[in-house]
């Protein structure tokens, strides 16, 4: 994705405007330059039919009229791991190797499984246990919903697109999925920012009046609306069509199509990088630094109460969530920035593999949060254990923990 897209390896909202088809065509063009037989003077005078130029200039209807002249071009998306003519041992696309594909399938499947189970569990326990129904936990549920959408709307489609090298999901999903994915990722960063500001308001400014649940619901609704608006260009400036590799073979293309050329796409990418990553992290960092200083001053004065200790533990958990998010997404955003600023990056031999690796690292943030809740917060840990019945052998501990959850006497997050 461009700053926010979580899909389409060298090609999607954070992909510098490249699509599976353009990557394939670039490889074809390189192969042509190496393998094309010498031309006669008459052949050199004929108009060029370079696939990349045809694709860049053609509309969706014109794509069907474009045909490739050399039998070398009769390669399928499922078998495009071509061998360089200069070095027969150099593979152009490592993601076509069987071992790499198995690792990618296992990695994506693991993230999807733990992400769906963990985030679903968070949503359930906040709904089931009364003492977890606080404003902060409602925002955490909103974050879990966004991560759940990323797990279900992003990862399976990204994996399929990476393995097959073309769009397999039809016209409607071509326009809808990138926007939905961008919305979910925006919601995650905005929610983390809201949580930090809410903690800052209550701890630094000693605001005893908590945000009401109605106000919390309104903030969450606004978060989704604003996120959808920010991601809407991914649905508007898009094109779906069929590109013919030969009279008998074609691939489906789902590509960004920006008015005025790719420069507008790069501007959008840079803007989303700032809005979705840079600015939220700056705000969150300032908020948590001030919270930490405030709590530290209270300890120095010897006036730290049990409430301050609880606030400190909760703040530490929330700060850890932000650090995990920032570290997970940093390589992906740095790589996308390199794609947008350096046209040579997409020509790297393992560009697609690098994109996929950074994407997997970024997506790890979608299942880590539930683990952090269970590890760093006693209320979530007790609720998780109660639901999963994983501690039946420890009857006394189980009963005590269940009382913490059910009686509502424990400290809320």
> Which of 29 and 361 is assigned the larger pLDDT?
361
Lowest average pLDDT, out of 69-73, 118-122, 130-134, 155-159, goes to: 69-73
In a domain, 257, yes or no: yes
In a domain, 381, yes or no: no
DSSP H helical segments within 59-169, as ranges? Answer: 60-63, 98-128, 135-153, 155-164
Opening angle at CA 363, ends 341 and 133, nearest 5: 125
> Which of 363 and 302 is assigned the larger pLDDT?
363
In a domain, 397, yes or no: no
Q: Within 10 Å of residue 153's Cβ, how many Cβ atoms?
A: 20
When divided into structural domains, the chain yields a total of: 1
Query: In the predicted model, what is the mean pLDDT of residues 220-236?
Result: 94
Positive or negative CA dihedral for 118, 120, 124, 126? positive
Distance CA 166, CA 168 (A): 6
Query: In the predicted model, what is the mean pLDDT of residues 155-168?
Result: 88
Q: Which of 203, 192, 193, 198 is nearest to 215 (CA)?
A: 198
Opening angle at CA 289, ends 287 and 291, nearest 5: 70
pLDDT at 87: 39
At 377, is the pLDDT very low, low, confident or very high (cuts 50, 70, 90)?
Answer: confident
Q: What percent of the chain has pLDDT over 70?
A: 69
In a domain, 384, yes or no: no
pLDDT at 364: 92
Mean pLDDT (the chain) is: 74
In a domain, 255, yes or no: yes
We report the CATH number of the domain holding residue 148 as: 1.20.1070.10
Q: What is the pLDDT of residues 3-59, one digit of tens each?
A: 444 445 433 333 433 344 444 444 444 444 444 444 443 443 343 333 333 333 343
In a domain, 400, yes or no: no
Q: Which of 43, 47, 49 is nearest to 65 (CA)?
A: 49
Query: In the predicted model, what is the mean pLDDT of residues 126-140?
Result: 90
Contact status, residue 6 vs residue 362, Cβ threshold 8 Å: yes
Domain span including residue 45: 20-376
> Which of 411 and 387 is assigned the larger pLDDT?
387
Q: Which helix (H) or strand (E) holds 194?
A: helix 170-203
In a domain, 8, yes or no: no
Q: What is the dihedral of CA 150, 157, 169, 101, to 10 degrees?
A: 180
In a domain, 7, yes or no: no
> Which of 61 and 146 is assigned the larger pLDDT?
146
Confidence (pTM): 0.72
Distance CA 132, CA 316 (A): 18
């Amino acid at each position: 994705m461009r700053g926010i897209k979580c899909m389409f390896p060298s090609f999607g909202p954070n992909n510098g405007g490249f699509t599976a088809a353009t990557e394939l065509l670039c490889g074809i063009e390189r192969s042509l330059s190496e393998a094309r037989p010498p031309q006669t003077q008459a052949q050199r005078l004929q108009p060029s039919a370079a696939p990349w130029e045809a694709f860049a200039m053609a509309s969706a209807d014109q794509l069907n009229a474009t045909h490739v002249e050399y039998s070398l071009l009769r390669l399928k998306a499922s078998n495009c791991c071509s061998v360089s003519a200069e070095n027969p041992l150099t593979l152009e696309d490592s993601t076509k190797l069987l071992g790499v594909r198995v690792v990618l399938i296992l990695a994506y499947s693991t993230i999807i499984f733990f992400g769906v189970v963990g985030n679903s569990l968070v949503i359930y326990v906040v709904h089931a246990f009364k003492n977890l129904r606080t404003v902060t936990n409602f925002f955490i549920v909103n974050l879990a919903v966004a991560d759940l959408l990323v797990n279900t709307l992003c990862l399976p489609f990204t994996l399929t697109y990476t393995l097959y090298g073309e769009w397999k999901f039809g016209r409607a999903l071509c326009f809808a999925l990138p926007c939905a994915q961008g919305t979910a990722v925006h919601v995650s960063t905005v929610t983390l920012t809201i949580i930090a500001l809410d903690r800052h308001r209550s701890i630094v400014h000693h605001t005893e009046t908590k945000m009401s649940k109605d106000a919390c619901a309104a903030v969450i609704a606004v978060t989704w609306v604003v996120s959808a608006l920010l991601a809407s260009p991914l649905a508007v400036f898009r094109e779906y069509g069929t590109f013919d590799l030969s009279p008998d073979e074609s691939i489906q293309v789902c590509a960004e199509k920006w008015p005025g050329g790719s420069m507008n796409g790069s501007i959008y990418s840079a803007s989303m990088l700032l809005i979705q990553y840079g600015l939220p992290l700056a705000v969150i960092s300032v908020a948590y630094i001030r919270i930490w200083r405030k709590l530290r001053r209270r300890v120095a004065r010897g006036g730290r109460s049990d409430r301050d200790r609880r606030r400190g533990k909760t703040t530490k958990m929330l700060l850890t969530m932000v650090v995990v998010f920032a570290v997970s997404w940093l390589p992906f955003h740095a790589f996308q920035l390199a794609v947008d600023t350096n046209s040579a990056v997409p020509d790297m031999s393992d560009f697609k593999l690098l994109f996929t690796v950074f994407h997997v690292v970024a997506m790890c943030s979608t299942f880590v949060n539930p683990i952090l809740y269970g590890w760093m917060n006693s209320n979530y840990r007790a609720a998780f254990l109660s639901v999963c019945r994983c501690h039946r052998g420890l009857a006394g501990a189980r009963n005590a923990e269940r009382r913490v959850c059910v009686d509502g006497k424990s400290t809320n997050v």
